[in-house]
Structure 1
Amino acid sequence: MRKLLIFLVVLILLVVGVDIGGRAFAESKAGEAIATQTGTVAPSVHIHGFSFLAQALPGHYQNITLTSQDVAAGPITGIAATIELYDVDLPLGDALNGTASNLRAAQVRLHGEIPTSRISAAMTQTGVTITAGPGGAIRVGATVSVAGQQIPVTADLVASFSSGALHLDAKGLTAAGISLPSIAGLNIADLARNLSLALPLRDLPFTVQAATLTASGTNLVLTAIANDVRIAAKT
């Protein structure tokens, strides 16, 4: 009985060791494969769930997390992002060979954080400041010259997603507390355009189906989702 117990303990330790080692190997290979497939820096990969082997053999994983510091959204690059993949299919042979061409996920959710200063720097209008309003609203402010006078202008950036891009449109402009367009000598259309920005999301490794941007402290939080995803090769 004592020898049997020792054998079982050793067997369990071996299985756990193989499971842990296999998980680490697969995570490393997956990161390299995704980098090769998308032409980006290799993300960190974490495969969730107890018993990696039980998931790897059939090639189906409940949840895989990718983290990267190199996500791009149009003119904004180097975004720190976490990408959650759910109900993932990746054949064991592909995992061992380090290829992601057959990787598919039922759902993908991206969470990225962008410093407000990087959004304002990408705008046509100079001297733009971005702050967080109630409920995650994005407030934008700038100083414009009207008839030789410097007037502070504020607006809300309203996010909407269409045609593969996240559009940030300046709405509800006010100048010195006066609702625009009530100030002569100020081109409201040009000002609104200069305070707006489009962030194409085509550089992501999957086709986005919905996205939004909200303010949180000194960052803007980018969220994007997609269903029935296949990791796309960079074109």
Structure 2
Amino acid sequence: MTATRPAPVTRRPSRGRKLVVAVLVLGALLVAADFGLAAAGEYQVAQKMRDKLSLSEDPSVRINGFPFITQALAGDYRDIEISATGVPVRDQLRELEVRANLYHTRIALSDLLAGNTRGAKIDQVRGSVKINAADLNRLVNQVTPFTDMAIEPDTREDVPAQAGPTTAAVKLSGNTTLAGRKLRVTAYGSVSLVGGLVEIAVSDVQLDDTSLASLGDALGAVRQALAVKIDPGVLPFTVTPTAVRVESGALTVEGTVDDIPLDQG
């Protein structure tokens, strides 16, 4: 005689488990709604900044900080980050990277979503433009042909300390032709912010072929070619440039301004 097994008992989800699932679903919906509102706000800011910064296309805009809704309800956005690349300045520069951080932008959510920025205020703007090696190479080529220009901070131990934020030590390198020979040239000097212009001064030029160190005239031409003055254009929100930095691949000019309208371009 075969024993019959009892039918398996189907367990129903407990109320606690249902509640957890409901909370998770609700949380996911709230997060999605939060990101959706932030994206709508970012779009409106991008539209305004395209006009104000005279860009050919919308810049990248990110409203930092989560959740967005708490900032929106307070009408105080802690950090709006705006960036654009490939920005031209006159005939000198073609690949500028423009960046601005808007700290504590004060505008009602309804006005932000409607694109109405009149009356909006910003506690502080930090603006910067980045001049990359390709643009510097283009400028240097007006005097002496160069290729593969590179920009680096001068990290040598014997480099004298710079006097404040408007001067920084720089190392430049690139390929050129001297006495009919293709050479890699390395130059050391300083980059300074003078009257809103970026000025490069070269103090030492070295060749990868030391047997040509006697080419004094040729090295003088290289030094002259690298000693350029660059107009970085107007910083975002008409920020006055107050500092220059050297980083790998670029020279960055930056400054800050306090208490300005969002509509100030």
TM-score of the superposition, structure 2-length normalised? Answer: 0.64
2:52 paired residue number: 37
2:70 paired residue number: 54
Aligned length: 223
Give CA deviations for 1:72-122 in whole Å, capped at 9, x if unaligned: 4562223345543333334435422325564525241547462x2331221
1:118 paired residue number: 135
- Cα gap change, 1:59/1:78 in structure 2, threshold over 3 Å: closer, same or farther? farther
1:167: Cα distance to partner? 1.8
CA distance in 2: counterparts of 1:159 and 1:49, whole angstroms: 35
1:106 paired residue number: 124
Aligned amino acid, residue 194 of structure 1 = A
1:67 paired residue number: 83
Structure index of larger Rg? 2
1:171 paired residue number: 203
Q: Choose the corresponding residue for 1:86, options 77, 100, 103.
A: 103
- Cα gap change, 1:200/1:125 in structure 2, threshold over 3 Å: closer, same or farther? same
CA distance in 2: counterparts of 1:233 and 1:125, whole angstroms: 38
Tell whether 2:114 aligns with 1:97. Answer: yes
Give CA deviations for 1:149-187 in whole Å, capped at 9, x if unaligned: 569775324211122222222333568446xxx94x679
Show structure 2 runs of 5+ residues with no match.
Answer: 1-14, 156-168
- Cα gap change, 1:60/1:53 in structure 2, threshold over 3 Å: closer, same or farther? same
Tell whether 2:201 aligns with 1:161. Answer: no
- Cα gap change, 1:213/1:72 in structure 2, threshold over 3 Å: closer, same or farther? farther
Q: How does 1:137-156 map to 2 (within 5 A)?
A: 137-140=170-173, 149=179, 155-156=187-188
Tell whether 2:58 aligns with 1:19. Answer: no
- Cα gap change, 1:177/1:98 in structure 2, threshold over 3 Å: closer, same or farther? farther
CA distance in 2: counterparts of 1:141 and 1:21, whole angstroms: 47
Q: Percent identity?
A: 21
Report the secondary structure of 1:47's partner residue.
Answer: strand
- Cα gap change, 1:60/1:195 in structure 2, threshold over 3 Å: closer, same or farther? same
Aligned amino acid, residue 241 of structure 2 = Q
* Residue range with higher mean Cα deviation, 200-209 or 47-56: 200-209
CA distance in 1: counterparts of 2:153 and 2:198, whole angstroms: 19
1:200 paired residue number: 231
Q: Do the aligned residues in 2 keep the contact of 1:59 with 1:92 (CA within 8 Å)?
A: yes
Aligned amino acid, residue 84 of structure 1 = N
CA distance in 2: counterparts of 1:69 and 1:57, whole angstroms: 32
Q: Do the aligned residues in 2 keep the contact of 1:90 with 1:104 (CA within 8 Å)?
A: no
4+ residue runs over 6 A deviation: none
